[in-house]
Amino acid sequence: MKFILAFFASLSSTLALDVRLDIANTFLSPDGFNRSVIVANGTYPGPPILAMKGDVLNVFVNNSLTDGTMRRSTAMDFDGIFFNTSNWWNEGSDFVTSCPLGPNMSFTYNVPLGEQTGTYWYHSQLSAQYVDGLRGPLIIYDPEDPFLDLYDVDDVSTIIEVGDWWQIATPVLLAGYENTGVVPVSDSGTVNGVGRFQGGPEVPFPVFNVTQGKRYRFRIINESARNVFTVSFDQHNITVIETDGVPTQPFVTDSIQMFAGQRYSVVLEANQTVGNYWFNAPFVGGSPANNKAGHQNASLTRAVLRYDGAPAEEPVGPFGLGPENGTGGSIEPFLVPLNPTAPPDPDVMLTFNLSVVAGRALWQINGVSYLPPLTPTLVKVLGGGDTQAAYNETENTFILPANATIEVNFPPSQDDEAHPFHLHGNNFWVIKSNFSEEVNTVNPIVRDTVAVGSAGTTVRFRTDQPGPMFFHCHIFWHKQAGLASVLLSGPDQVRAEENPSPEWLNLCSAYRDLPEDAQ
């Protein structure tokens, strides 16, 4: 607690927080297999960005990528952060709000955090580049957190990032996907950047240290690009208190199913016998048979919860998959915001029918597969793009009124895999969860990433903050295959308020001038 108070004291006077991320290639072996990667500050995951409520981040990104077997440009997304009007040009979604940042270039993203608190992450938005390593946590601490009484420890040691990992660079995987329509199946899963694959070396599992009698706020981030992880701690229930940055009425569960891009804070009370316990994060993500190397073994994604006083050993139990006959972790329909709100009736209703062209890497929304335009949406808006005519059909751009309530209805889809749809710069109410038949317009959970699947999903959101909001599947393989759209609300308000810097305006011409292997 002392550490936390000191930490708060040191930050509470800060408003502008300078953050530096050096993006470069290096060699890493997260699961024991050595490969060239793209990372921030030399590590996978990248360094945590630790902020306080109200901070304005100035994130200086220096791109020194040299390895031509992977993308050398980049684009930084601060996942879940609202880019309030006048700041969309810092949002970093390539070809929606900016052009990519070429090698040997740097850019400072100005990120005001406003009223937001909780658990977020940053990652490359370009192509499937974050799969090559460029992903890391962004935590916004709240000195007046309504749940301060529920936990004793909440610091860098209680951040848990689960991610899927491939041993092959993404351009090769994408080419294979395009030729076969088979989504690349990961070799391994990682917890805080450490994992094992079937037949690989016994890389030591990460250890979370706890002291008996204390309560820990674990911030769990699913930074995967495909895999769905179901997380649990052996012999410990957990209490969910945050969902994608939204404080949530405490909800006790034995496990949580997490889709790519989703985040939860949970409180774990270290009240069991002193010992070692497994943290299990088994995943599902395509047929293991489609990993030609035979590497996939979901039971190898785990960590050790170690009580002070316990021997430095692995738990004695088997590599379990989580509580036997437990809840299964589909908790979304049961979660209620701490301060629930009822969504207004919709002013505009959209239906998104998802489909895939058989045997090809071609995903469609209402029959249209998204293709990024050469000129980013925001550039078009600033140039007067108010009408549908400014946007090619393949930009899947929906022009919406400002100050309105929008409903997006995803009818039940036939696909075997749920699609985690993520809205940039805004939250939505989940009126109908894929995991329940109930339609809740009284106190539904509010979040920014929701599973869309075989039971149907409906969300509503307000366009109080106008802007070009990228809305896409967070399975980045699907995003890259066209499962994306832009919800453009209030283009005239956006134009009135945005004030981009000359550096931002320069990004597009600089990118177009790059040789293809540097893009």
Ligand X SMILES: *[C@@H]1O[C@H](CO)[C@@H](O)[C@H](O)[C@H]1NC(C)=O
In the complex, what is the shortest distance from the CB of residue 179 to Cu ion, in angstroms, rounded to a whole number? 19
Considering the complex, what minimum distance in angstroms separates the CB of residue 405 from Cu ion? 26
Q: Which does residue 207 touch among ligand X, Cu ion, none (CB within 5 to 8 A, set by kind)?
A: ligand X
Of 405, 400, 401, the closest CA to residue 344 belongs to: 405
CB-wise, 69 or 237, nearer to ligand X? 237
Q: Which of 53, 419, 462, 472 binds Cu ion (CB under 5 A)?
A: 419
Secondary structure (DSSP) of 15-32 = SEEEEEEEEEEEEE-TTS
Instruction: Please tell me whether residue 14 binds ligand X under the rule CB under 6 A.
Output: no
- Distance CA(37)–CA(44), nearest Å, equals 9
| Cα 2 from Cα 9, distance rounded (Å) | 10
Tell me the backbone φ, ψ of residue 429, rounded to 5 degrees.
-85, 135
Whether 255 and 327 have beta carbons less than 8 Å apart is answered as yes
User: In sequence order, what are the beta bridge partners of 110?
Assistant: 58
> Of 1-9, 51-59, 64-72, 470-478, which part binds Cu ion (CB under 5 A)?
470-478
Closest C-alpha to 235, from 291, 305, 290: 305
User: Which x/- pattern over 169-198 shows residues binding ligand X (rule: CB under 6 A)?
Assistant: ------------------------------
Residue from 65, 399, 475, 481 in contact with Cu ion (CB under 5 A): 475
CB neighbours of 508 closer than 8 A, spacing ≥ 6?
A: 99, 375, 376, 379
Of 274-313, binders to Cu ion (CB under 5 A) are none
> Which range in 5-13, 110-118, 406-414, 499-507 contacts ligand X by CB under 6 A?
110-118
Please enumerate in sequence order all residues whose Cβ is within 8 A of that of 175, keeping only pairs 6 or more positions apart, or say none: none
CA distance 401 to 469: 13
The residues in 244-303 that bind ligand X, with binding defined as CB under 6 A, are 254, 257-260, 269, 271, 281, 283-285
Q: Residues near 188 by Cβ (< 8 Å), separated by ≥ 6?
A: 30, 31, 164, 165, 195, 196, 197, 200, 295, 296, 300, 301
Say whether residue 389 binds ligand X (CB under 6 A): no
Q: Which does 371 bind (CB under 5 to 8 A by kind): ligand X, Cu ion, none?
A: ligand X
Instruction: Tell me which residues in 196-255 interact with ligand X (CB under 6 A).
Output: 207-209, 222, 224, 226-231, 235-237, 254
The whole-angstrom separation of Cα 404 and Cα 461 is: 8
Rounded Cα gap, residues 300 and 195, in angstroms: 7
Residue nearest to ligand X (CB): 229
Query: Whose Cβ is closer to Cu ion: residue 40's or residue 473's?
Result: 473
- Rounded to an integer, what is the distance from CA 162 to the centroid of its chain? 11
Binding status of residue 495 toward ligand X by CB under 6 A: no
478 counts as binding Cu ion under rule CB under 5 A: yes
In sequence order, what are the residues at sequence separation of 6 or more whose Cβ sits closer than 8 angstroms to the Cβ of residue 194? Answer: 30, 31, 203, 204, 205, 206, 303
Give the range of 98-106, 189-197, 412-420, 438-446 binding Cu ion by CB under 5 A: 412-420
12, 26, 69, 84: which one binds ligand X (CB under 6 A): 84
Q: Report what 409 binds from Cu ion, ligand X, none; CB cut-off 5-8 Å by kind.
A: none
Residue ranges in 300-359 that form contacts with ligand X under rule CB under 6 A: 324-325
Q: Which does 473 bind (CB under 5 to 8 A by kind): Cu ion, ligand X, none?
A: Cu ion
SS3 of residue 484 by DSSP = strand
Partner in contact with 287, chosen from ligand X, Cu ion, none, beta carbon below 5 to 8 Å by kind:
none
d(CA 94, CA 99): 5
The nearer residue to ligand X, 13 or 27, going by C-beta atoms, is 27
Rounded distance between C-alpha atoms, residue 149 and residue 6, angstroms: 17
Nearer to ligand X, 110 or 409 (CB): 110
Q: Locate 47 and state its tokens.
A: 């360094």
Query: Quick one: which segment of 99-107, 243-251, 382-390, 426-434 binds ligand X (CB under 6 A)?
Result: 99-107
Contact residues toward ligand X (CB under 6 A) are 19-22, 27, 29, 34, 41, 47, 49, 62, 64, 82, 84, 103-104, 106, 112, 114-115, 157, 162, 207-209, 222, 224, 226-231, 235-237, 254, 257-260, 269, 271, 281, 283-285, 324-325, 371, 392-394, 403, 420, 465, 475, 518
Contact residues toward Cu ion (CB under 5 A) are 419, 473, 475, 478
